[in-house]
Chains A and B, each alone.
Chain A
Amino acid sequence: MARILVADDASFMRQMIREIVEAQGHEVVGEASDGDEVVEEFKRLHPDVVTMDIVMPRRSGIDAVKSIIELDRKACIVMCSALGQESLVKEALAAGARDFIVKPFKPDAVVATLSKVVEKPE
């Protein structure tokens, strides 16, 4: 089971992701509420997966992806996007994000995406 770092500026969303992934037996090892914090927490916790919101204060999710990939080329990041953010998702994938899930989250979709990235390490 994976160790997951959840980044979202809304605690509502963090809690929702936590509940979904914990029900699958994954462990949420940390939470971050802005783009700077997620990079710091990544350095500290070395999680297996990061779920990354795109719109966050201080540093956007995309810039955070770039910083994390710079630290660890193999980092596994899943973007959390909303409808209408397709171009940003593409940008994030180009920057090294592994996959994406779309808000509002459907638990099944989150679980499926996570197992996909966890089982298929690059």
Chain B
Amino acid sequence: MDLAKYRAIFVEEAAENFAEMGRALLALEKNPGDAESIDTVFRMAHSVKGMAASLDYGTISELAHRLEDRMHTVRDRGRVSPGEESALLFRGLEALEGMLEAVKSGSQPPPGDASLLAALRAPLATDAVAPLAAEAAAAPAKAPVAPLAGAAQAPTALRSASVSVPGPSSTVRVQAGVLDRFLSTVGEVILCTSQVRTAASDGRADGGPFEEGLDRMERVVGELQRRALDLRTTPILRIVEPLPRAAREIARRAGKQVEVVLAGAELELDRSILDRLSDPLVHLVRNAVDHGIEPPAQRRASGKPEAGRIAIEARREKGHVCIEVRDDGAGIDLDRLRARAVELGMLHPDLAADLTPAQAAALVFRAGLSTAREVTEVSGRGVGMDAVRATVEALGGDVEIETQRGRGTTTRLRVPITAAVQRVLLVSVGGETLALPIAKVERILETPASAVEQSGSDAFTLVDGELVPVLELASLLKLDPPPRDALRVLVLAEVRGDRVALGAARVLGQQQIYVKPVPELLAGVRALAGFTILGDGRPVFLLDPNQVA
């Protein structure tokens, strides 16, 4: 039997089982007697037990077994006992997830936490006669200390080591109905083919049925393309689902209370985009809990409910999906943020005072601020926010932040729904053909060369009375400079929120391209967002304007 294959299936399926289990446990926290959720947790534990046992992951199957048994008791009792038992079940799930991480990274899952196993076996006082309960309560104390510490640390260490291991994301689970529709469209392609073939063999390749057949084929292939792209999309739920639990855990450690509300999680996004948004979202939620939501006492003092509220809301916006993380916490202290930026030499003091609140808030995305650990409130917001921005921009999206002192902070990520097909502008630069995402292009200018003014090493031109920097693509990419024509072609584009004129030799036209990932050898070149093969067989690179300048 191909164990590697089964391991990959196990990793994916168990992760889904855990996600479902987590959702059910959260539901049980609100409604401890919810029979359906009790059944779900039971079933998921059972399922994982069976799979793990088949692969000889003894520690996983043992823990899953204990969890399953515990849920059996819960089912008989009719409800999860809130507080201790609920926390115990969450602990069990977390331990299982830690073990799965180890499997994912190619190692054996760590031994189970003895105290956890014992606690899962220990009945509630109400489930058993008193002496039994007392004995069980004593059991955890007898557990050796060493494996405990090991078990607690192993998953974290492995987690960081697992980065380079190819994950199971190369497999895609598709509903059977989707495949059926796919197949029926393929059937139509076959019909068209025979129509064209018949027309061609009749020697009437010059029109009528032949043309009709080709037209139909083009339409059907377009349909196939759309369906194939649909296969790549998956509900946002997949990445936001763990967030309520993560938030709850971070809050618990910080002695805070938080309630997370999800909305729009059913919206679908391209898998490749979705997978990369996961870390940024975890980061935003962590920031919201750590640095946004105040401790209960402080919230009470300012007339807010003790439990902070974080809303994670996704909505569709014409070709994009916008995901918003909104907290009702303290907001960012913009004055301190300004001061910090000045202190670090990122900003001139005079400019700092002139920044609008929105511009000041956007300072959190500056890389340098992220290391400002001593100003915890500010630095917290800054840690990794530059990474969040870089990730979202690399996906062809953007990010913005809004904050109001005492009222809370909202961070908004906007990303395209599908990454695979993009409309691009093809330009010729130094003998090469390059593609620019049309979404970033405002318009194309043809200006006299004299309208580009040189000031030191910088060049500018006047557009609508506004001074816009001119960047020569040829020199940025170290290609041959453009010919010294009387007329210059400038592509007015948006680069990190600002207007920039990109100098090119010629504009070749617009086209819809299927963007393939950059070949591995060139993956280090950040300016390249992807590549495609044109109809004539020429490879063309897609530039990421944000990384060019």
Contacts and interface: CB of A to CB of B under 8 A. Distances in A.
Nearest to A13: B50
A103 B50 contact: yes
B54 A105 contact: yes
B112 to A, nearest CB: 17
A79 to B, nearest CB: 13
Contact of A9 (B42, B47, B54): B47
Contact of B9 (A9, A15, A82, A104): A15
B17 to A, nearest CB: 8
Interface string B28-49: 0000000000001011001101
Interface string A58-98: 00000000000000000000000010100000000000000
A16 B54 contact: yes
A40 interface: no
A10 B51 contact: yes
A41 to B, nearest CB: 12
Interface centre among A56, A82, A105, A107 (most CB of B within 10 A): A82
B13 A57 contact: no
A13 B42 CA distance: 17
B10 interface: yes
B6 A16 contact: yes
A55 interface: yes
A105 B50 CA distance: 9
A9 B47 CA distance: 8
Nearest to B11: A12
B486 interface: no
A55 B47 CA distance: 8
A11 interface: yes
A82 B13 contact: no
Contact of A10 (B42, B50, B56): B50
B53 A12 contact: no
B4 interface: no
B47 A104 contact: no
Contacts, number: 46
Interface residues of A, number: 17
Contacts of B40: 57
A89 to B, nearest CB: 14
A104 B54 contact: yes
Contact of B13 (A11, A19, A55, A107): A11
A82 B1 contact: no
B46 A82 contact: yes
A84 B69 CA distance: 10
Interface in B47-80: 47, 49-51, 53-54, 56, 65, 69
Given A10-B13, A12-B6, A82 B49 contact: yes
A55 B46 contact: yes
A19 B5 CA distance: 12
A55 B43 contact: yes
A19 B1 CA distance: 8
A107 B6 CA distance: 15
B54 A12 contact: yes
Interface string A2-31: 000000011111011001000000000000
Contacts of A105: 54
A104 B13 contact: no
B387 to A, nearest CB: 35
Nearest to B56: A104
Given A19-B1, A82-B50, A12 B9 contact: yes
A9 B48 CA distance: 11
29 contacts: A9-B43, A9-B47, A10-B47, A10-B51, A11-B9, A11-B13, A11-B173, A12-B10, A12-B13, A12-B51, A12-B54, A13-B54, A15-B6, A15-B9, A16-B6, A16-B54, A55-B43, A55-B46, A55-B47, A57-B40, A82-B49, A82-B53, A84-B65, A84-B69, A103-B53, A104-B53, A104-B54, A104-B56, A105-B54
Interface of B: 1, 6, 9-10, 13, 40, 42-43, 46-47, 49-51, 53-54, 56, 65, 69, 173
Interface of A: 9-13, 15-16, 19, 55-57, 82, 84, 103-105, 107
Q: 8 shortest A-B CB distances, which residue pairs?
A: A104-B54, A104-B53, A103-B50, A12-B51, A55-B46, A10-B47, A12-B9, A12-B13
